[in-house]
Structure formats: C-alpha cells, structure tokens
Amino acid sequence: MPPLRTLLAMPVALALLALTPAASSAPTAPATDALLPLLVTAGGAPAAALMAREEPGTHYARAGRGISRADHFRAGSITKTFIATVVLQLAAEHRLALSDTVEQHLPGLVHGAGNDGRALTLRSLLTHTSGLNDFSAETKGLTPLSPLQAVRIALTHPPAEPGRFAYSNTNYVLLGMVIEQVTGHSYATEAERRIIAPLDLTGTSFPGARTSLPSPHGRAYAADGTDVTELDPRVAGAAGELVTTLADLDRFYAALLGGRLLPSRLLHEMRDTRAAHGLYGMGLFPQKLPCGITVWGHNGRITGSYVRTAATVDGRRVLTFRVNTTAVTDPGLEPALLAAEFCPRTP
C-alpha cells in the first residue's frame, strides 16, 4: 500500500495529467479549472471558487453547489494585509515609525508574565516576531472579544523566544489599537478611507459586531458540517474581521503590489522577510513554487471560510480561491493550484 503522502498526492497528480493539452483547435481551459473540483472531492469542501486576474481580464470558476461569483464571505487573516498597509501608510506620513515601541503608543498596556511593551517595536508586531502569545489559541476563534480583552488573554502567558517568528493574532489586534491611537479613528474607518473607497472595493467591509453577511452570500460550514454562516466577527477583530469578495481581493492585491497604495520604499519593506527568517514580511508572505516563481499574498482562515490570495511580485497577475468551510483537508491542493496558475505550462 502506498504511503499516506503518496495517496494524498495521487488526486493532484491525476489532475495534472489531465492538464496536458490535447491536439485541438478549441481554446485550452485554464490549468486551475481541472484542479478546482479537487477542493471538493479531495479537500472536503462543500464548494469552491476562484478568480484569476491578469491583463487583459479575469477568469472565474467554481465547483460544488451554493457558491457564486458575487458572494460575500469572511476573509479571516487576509485582514492583516489591510491593517499592515494602513500602518505603513501612517509611517509614510511620519505619524509613526516602525521602530516605535508599543509602549510609546499604548502606554502601560503590554506588561506582565514577562511581556514588556517597552522592548517591542511596531515592526515586531508587523512581522510576528514580538513573541506575544496568540489569544486565539485559547479562545479557538469562537469567543467574541474586545481588543483589550484579547490582549489581556495573551498577556497571561509568557512570550516566546524574542526575535523568533511566531504567528500571533495578538500582534494585529495591537496594531489596530495603535491605528486608533495615532489617528483618532478605528482601524476600520481608516482602512475604509485609505483603501476600500479609493480602490472602489464595493464588496469589502469591516462588519464590527454584525453577525450576518451582506447579500449575496452562500452558506458557511464548520468542519463537522454545522452551518456557521452567522458569526460574530469580534472573534478575530483587527486580525481577521474582514468581509469581502473574490473580485475585491484580486483588485486590492493588484493595487498594493503594483505600487498604488504605498511608496516604493515601504512596499519593499513590506516584502522584506529577513526579520522573520524568510517566512513573513509585513502582512504578506512569499511562497516559492516548484517552477522557481515566488508569489506574494496571504491566506485567511476563520470558522466556515478559508481563502488564499497570491500574486506576482508586481501585482500584474493575481489568483484568489476560497472554500466555504474552515480548511482544505488535503494540504497538497493549495500549492498545486498556485503552481497551475503561475507556473508556465509545458507544451
């Protein structure tokens, strides 16, 4: 019997075989279209959809029932790219510096159990190298919290090794609080003013405490099949509150990586992964594909929704795919889908 890894790879391998172009005058279907159904049959999702953006247009595909092109859905940690962009815009305006300490902006907040806001910079929050405990490890993403409550939960635990990359939602909750301290407005208001309105992201919003999704939308399901379409976004706050659409995410990442939202110096800094030892920049992370191409973006997981956006470094080509459940059970499908989109096809 083949080892488990081989069994997991077999559906992907079979689909890739199906991608070999046949001798025909008919247009060749995008390589991603053969893989997308596997997110349902092998990945355990009720339904899946993708939208690819490249000059001169877009391509949409779906698999399974109850999912559509215009659906609004929860984007989870993709929210972090929006938050990081706002922070970097404030840095460009000299309203804060990435070398500022957390203590300078939120005095007295981060202390206890070995945590010390005087030793933590905004850069360390952006790159997940602060060592702060992830509050959601305790709440499991099920308990609505205020930002202060989330931070206080994290501060009951000692920090991880200083300077080591350790992904923590607490970092971005704190950054949301810093945005409010610097601007006098909520992170949602600033993101709407600086990103959502200028880019005309009409399907994107920060819902606050609103548990329903805007129309149109499908249903969202937990791993056990429970319908979790109604969800209080305060389970994630600035680390994962965003509601959006496929088209809006493609447009946002194309604009960001294309240089429309940040000066080139700060966009370069956003993609600098040295602090996190190559694993993470600031609200973005790279993924090197088997063909050698590196794509940039983020994923988002929240109860009932998993989303992944990836783009070329210049933002000229973007892919977003989503499933209407919390996770894709076959870990090989995501990299295969990205490779199908971004790697050159052999004749």
Query: Could you give the residue numbers annotated as active site?
Result: 77
Measured at the CA of 120, the angle between CA 115 and CA 123, to 5 degrees, comes to 145
For helices 79-92 and 246-257, give the axis angle rounded to 10 degrees: 30
Residue (of 278, 253, 316, 313) closest to 80 by Cα position: 253
Based on its alpha-carbon atoms, the radius of gyration of the chain, rounded to whole angstroms, reads: 20
Taking the C-alpha atoms of residue 199 and residue 176, their distance in angstroms, rounded to an integer, is: 21
Is-contact 266 259, C-beta < 8 A? no
Residue (of 179, 181, 196, 222) closest to 89 by Cα position: 179
With 0-12 CB in 10 A as exposed, 13-18 as middle and 19+ as buried, what is 305?
Answer: buried
